[in-house]
Every structure is written in structure tokens, then in C-alpha cells.
Structure 1
Amino acid sequence: MAPDRLLRYLQIKVHHLIQDHDWDSIHVVGSYDRQAVISAHEKTGKLFNFERPTADIQGRALIVKAFPGADYVHHYALIIATYLAMMGKAVDTVTYALPDPAVSREAVKRLTLDLDGDLVIVGWGLAHLAPPDGVWNHGHGYAWQRTEVHGRRVVYLGFLHSIWGDVAGRVVTRLAELGARDVVYVGKVGALNPDIEPNTRLATGNTSLVGGSVVTWPDFFGDFATAQPGVHTGVHVTSPSILLENRDWLTEHAEHAFVDPEIGPMGVAARDAGIDFGYLHVISNNLARHYPADLSNERHSDVVRRRTVLIRQIQDVIANRLAARPI
């Protein structure tokens, strides 16, 4: 990403207290605390994924509280450090402490749904995927809506906060514990093939490179999604932060297809829990070639229009897969 676009990406993520003031120290921890100072840069007008890490002022120190996932705490500390570096400020003021896995598990266990073999669709674009006249029921940091598609019970599940990286895997584990039979993740993914223009195609698959090892999982879609026009497939790469995806990283992974933080952990969790998992994502940006659309200008009207078309395609593919699959 070009420096000006990277800075724009960081500015919409970094807490306003960091952008507006200098601190002797900034410490990022895993804690979901909406009673702390909420960032003025949180998005408005969204149902889901609008909450950003909050902050506590302790004299000249700032404690930044991110949802307790190891990948998210690390990623947000990188966001802050990169922003400060680009602003010519000291980076060594930034430290972070990864949350204890038990804390991460307990945070995700706040998710309580009564599931019995349901398909759970989780992620992005749910306001367009779910029935427009449906009612969203709210829990602790999440909301859900039930419906039926071709005789199959379906639950749409969205989170107010980010379920970044390993947190997404824990969500799948939790959904399996609650009785889900299948989980589909709808989101956005980065392309590593330079020929794919952002916001024109969908991505799917059942294989990811996680921590240097190739993992596969039972795919909800089977071969169905890959047979649809405009759907690209290949080996996905799990990366905890876009800020680690530099030119050397790209060279190392050039033969792979996509990258994001969640798909790999979710697939592993589904495999281990004995349920099916599938992803069907909008290809939102391209790491291998510069295109006008990237992660810094996602609210542009042309980007929104193109993604609306792709969301409708995702909706159709899921419905047709359910129609073709035995209950």
C-alpha cells in the first residue's frame, strides 16, 4: 500500500487520544471494556464491526484495551507503532501484552445461542444477507437473526467488535459447542494474484497456510462455490496483520491466492470440532498490484456499489448450496 494510503488506513483505526496527544507510554492489552474512552473514529451507521479498542488515561500513560485476542492485540500495537513512526514520533513508547488464552476463551464464551444443527453465517455484509424485515436480537457484543432457507435453519451472527485472527477461531469452537452443524464466514480477503481487480470477484477454498503448515477442513460448499462464475479459488495464507505483509512476505507467498487473519483459524477450529466450514469472500484489495480500490477507501461510492452486487451473489450461492444439500 502506498504511504499516503497506508496513513489513511491507520488514521481511521488509531484511537483519537493517540492522534491528538503525546504520551510517555502506550500499552495495549486484551480487554473488552466499553466503559473506557471510546474512540471518536469509530464508524457510524453500521450494525457490526464498528467498535474499536478503547483507552484509559493514567497520567502520562495510555492503556489501550483491545478485544482479548492475541492476533488483535499484536495487530493493534503494530497499527499504533506504524502510525507514530509515519508521524515522526517515538515508537518505543508502544508496548503490548498478549492476553492469557483463558481470558480469550472466557470473552468468547459470552456468546450464548440456542443452536441445534443450524447453519451459522458470521461476518461482514450481514445487513444485506439477512432478511430485511427480520429482527436483530442483541447479546453481549453481538447480535443475531434467525430465518429458514430451503427448509434449513439459518442464523446470521454479527459482532459489534472485531473478531480478528484467533478470536474468529474461538468463535467457531464456541458455535460448535452451542450446537451449530455448519459455519459460513462472509468477509473480505486480499488477493496475491496481480491480475484480480478488487471488488470484481469472490474467493473461496478449503486450504490455508497457518503458521507455516498447510491445513484443510471439511468445506460446507464442496465444489459448488468454485463452479460459480466469478468465484476464484486457491490456497489461502493466514496472516495476523497486514502490517507484516511487506515485499519480502509477498515474494515468499506469491504462489498462493489470498490472505486474511481469520479463515485459517476458523477452518482449523471447525475441523477439530467435527463441523463443516466454508468461506465466500469479496476480494477487496490486491497486494501484488496497485489498483484504485484498496483498504483505505472502502467507503467510496463505486466500491460500495460493486460490493453490493457481490453480496447478492454470495446470498444466491449460499441459498443454492442449501437447496442442493440434503437436510
Structure 2
Amino acid sequence: MAPDRLLRYLQIKVHHLIQDHDWDSIHVVGGYDREAVISAHEKTGKLFNFERPTADVQGRDLIVKAFPGADYVHHYALIIATYLSMTGKPADTVTYELPDPTLSRDAVGKLDLELDGDLVIVGWGLAHLVPPDGVWNHGHGYAWQHTEIHGRRVVYLGFLHSIWGDVAGRVVTRLAELGAREVVYVGKVGALNPDIEPNTRLATGNTSLVGGGFVTWPDFFSDFATAQAGVHTGVHVTSPSILLENRDWLTEHAEHAFVDPEIGPMGVAARDAGIEFGYLHVISNNLARHYPADLSNERHSDVVRRRTVLIRQIQDIIANRLAAQPI
């Protein structure tokens, strides 16, 4: 991403107290605390994934509280340090502390749904996927509703906060504990193939490079999604932060297809839990070639329009997959 676009991406994410004030230290920790100072840069007009890390002022020091996932705490600390460096401020004021796994597990454990072999669709774009007359039921940091598609009970699940990286894997584990039989993740993914223009195609697959090794999971879509027009498939790469995806990283992973933080951990969790998992994502940006659309201008009207068309295609593919699947 070009420097000006990277800075714009960071400005959208960084807490206003960091952009507006100087601090002796900034310490990022795991903690879901909506009683702390909420960022003025949280997105408005969204049902899900609008909450950003909050902050506690302690004199000249700032404690930043991110939802307790190891990948998210690390990623947000990188966001802050990179922003400070790009704006001429000392980045060495930033430190972070990875949350204890028990804290992460307990935070995700607040998810509580009554499931009985259901398909759970989780992620982004849910407002376009649910029935027009559907009603959202709210829990602790999440909301859900259910419907029937071709005789199958389907639960739509969205989170107000980010389920970045390992947190997404914990969500799949929790859903399996609650009785889900299949989980589909709808989201956005970066392309590593320079020929794919953002917001024109969908991505799917059943293999991810996670921690240096390949992981394959039982795929909800099987070969069904890849047979559809405009759906690209290939090996996915799990990366905890876009700020680690530099030129050397790209050279190392150029033969693979996609990158994002969640798909790998979710696939691992589904495999370990003995349930099916599938992803069907909008290809939202391209790491290998510059295109007008990237992660810094996602709110542009043309980007929104193109993605709406792709979400409708996702809706159709899921429905047709369920129609072809024995009950």
C-alpha cells in the first residue's frame, strides 16, 4: 500500500486520543471495556464490526484495551507504532501485552446461542444476507437472527467488535460447543495474484498456510462454490497483521492466492471440532499490484456498490448449496 494510503488506513483505526495528544507511554492490552474512552473514529451506520479498542488515561500514560485476542493486540500495537512513526512521533513509546489464553477463552465464552446442528453464517455483510423482515437479537457484544433456507435452519451471527485472527478460531470452537454443525465465514480477503482486480470476484478454498504448515478442513462448499462464475480458489495464507505483509513477505508467499488473519484459525478450529467450515469472501484488495480500490477507501460509493453485488452472489451460492445438500 502506498504511504499516503497506508496513513489514511491508520488514521481510520487509531484512537483519537493518540492522534490528538502526545503520551509518555502507550500500552496495549487485552480487554473488552466499553466503559473506557471510546474512539471518536468508530464507524457509524454499521450493525457490526464498528467497535474499536478503547482507552484509559493514567496521567501521561495511555492504556489501550483491545478485544482480548493475541493477534488483535499485536496488530493494534503495530497500527499505533506505525502511525506514530509516519507522523514523526516516537514509536518506541508503544508496548503491548498479549492476553492470557484463559482471558481470550472467557471473552468468547460469553457467546451463548441455542444451536442444534445449525449452519451458522458469521462475519461481514450480514445486513445484506438476512431476510428483510428479520429481527436481530442482542447478546454481549454480538447479535443474531435465524431463518430457514431450503428446510435448513440457518443462524446469522455478527459481532460488534472485531473477531481478528485467533479470536475467530475461538468463535468457531465455541459455536461447535453450542451445537453448530457447519460454519460459513463471509468477509473480505486480500489477493496475492496481481491479475485480480479488487471487488470484482469472490474467494473460497479449503487450505491455509498457518504458522509455516498447511492446514485443510472439511469444506462446507466442497467443489460447489468453485464451480460458480467469478469465484476464485487457491491456497490461503494466514497473517496476523497487514503491517507485516511487506515486499519480502509477498515474495515469500507469491505462489499462494489470498491472505487474511481469520480463515486459517477458523479452519483449524473446525477441523479439530469435527464440523464443516467454509469461507466465501469478497476480494477487497490486491497486495501484488496497485489498483484504485484498497483498504484505505472502502467507504467510496463505487466500492460499496460493487461489494453489494458480490454479497448478493454470496447469498445465492449459499442458498443453492443448501438446496443441493440433503437434510
With the shorter chain as reference, the TM-score category is over 0.9
- Cα shift readout 1:259-307 (whole Å, capped 9, x = no counterpart): 0000000000000000000000000000000000000000000000000
Measure, in 1, the Cα distance between the counterparts of 2:271 and 2:19. Answer: 42
Residue matched to 1:315: 315
Residue matched to 1:66: 66
- Cα shift readout 1:156-189 (whole Å, capped 9, x = no counterpart): 0000000000000000000000000000000000
Q: Does 1:221 align with 2:221?
A: yes
Please give the TM-score of this superposition, normalised by the length of structure 2.
1.00
Measure, in 1, the Cα distance between the counterparts of 2:188 and 2:200. Answer: 12
CA-CA distance at 1:132 after TM superposition = 1.4
Secondary structure of residue in 2 paired with 1:95: strand
Measure, in 2, the Cα distance between the counterparts of 1:275 and 1:311. Answer: 24
CA-CA distance at 1:145 after TM superposition = 0.5
Secondary structure of residue in 2 paired with 1:51: coil
Measure, in 1, the Cα distance between the counterparts of 2:212 and 2:239. Answer: 10
Unpaired segments ≥5 residues, structure 2: none
CA-CA distance at 1:155 after TM superposition = 0.2
Structure 1 stretches of 4+ with a deviation exceeding 2 A read: none
Measure, in 1, the Cα distance between the counterparts of 2:54 and 2:326. Answer: 45
Measure, in 1, the Cα distance between the counterparts of 2:74 and 2:87. Answer: 20
Measure, in 1, the Cα distance between the counterparts of 2:18 and 2:188. Answer: 27
Measure, in 1, the Cα distance between the counterparts of 2:226 and 2:281. Answer: 12
Secondary structure of residue in 1 paired with 2:305: helix
Measure, in 2, the Cα distance between the counterparts of 1:35 and 1:315. Answer: 36
Measure, in 2, the Cα distance between the counterparts of 1:72 and 1:25. Answer: 19
Matched pairs, number? 327
Please give the TM-score of this superposition, normalised by the length of structure 1.
1.00
CA-CA distance at 1:146 after TM superposition = 0.6
- Cα shift readout 1:204-241 (whole Å, capped 9, x = no counterpart): 00000000000000000000000000000000000000
Secondary structure of residue in 2 paired with 1:92: helix
Counting only pairs closer than 5 Å after superposition, residues 48-67 of structure 1 correspond to structure 2 as 48-67=48-67
- Cα shift readout 1:131-151 (whole Å, capped 9, x = no counterpart): 111000000000001100000
Measure, in 1, the Cα distance between the counterparts of 2:165 and 2:150. Answer: 32
CA-CA distance at 1:252 after TM superposition = 0.1
Measure, in 2, the Cα distance between the counterparts of 1:309 and 1:45. Answer: 20
RMSD of the alignment, in Å? 0.2
Measure, in 2, the Cα distance between the counterparts of 1:211 and 1:129. Answer: 32
Secondary structure of residue in 2 paired with 1:12: helix
Measure, in 2, the Cα distance between the counterparts of 1:326 and 1:270. Answer: 21
Measure, in 2, the Cα distance between the counterparts of 1:284 and 1:133. Answer: 29
CA-CA distance at 1:310 after TM superposition = 0.1
Measure, in 1, the Cα distance between the counterparts of 2:293 and 2:122. Answer: 25
Counting only pairs closer than 5 Å after superposition, residues 44-123 of structure 1 correspond to structure 2 as 44-123=44-123
- Cα shift readout 1:182-201 (whole Å, capped 9, x = no counterpart): 00000000000000000000
Measure, in 2, the Cα distance between the counterparts of 1:119 and 1:90. Answer: 47
Measure, in 2, the Cα distance between the counterparts of 1:52 and 1:39. Answer: 7
Measure, in 2, the Cα distance between the counterparts of 1:161 and 1:323. Answer: 32
Measure, in 2, the Cα distance between the counterparts of 1:132 and 1:73. Answer: 36
Measure, in 2, the Cα distance between the counterparts of 1:130 and 1:156. Answer: 7
- Cα shift readout 1:105-124 (whole Å, capped 9, x = no counterpart): 00000000000000000000
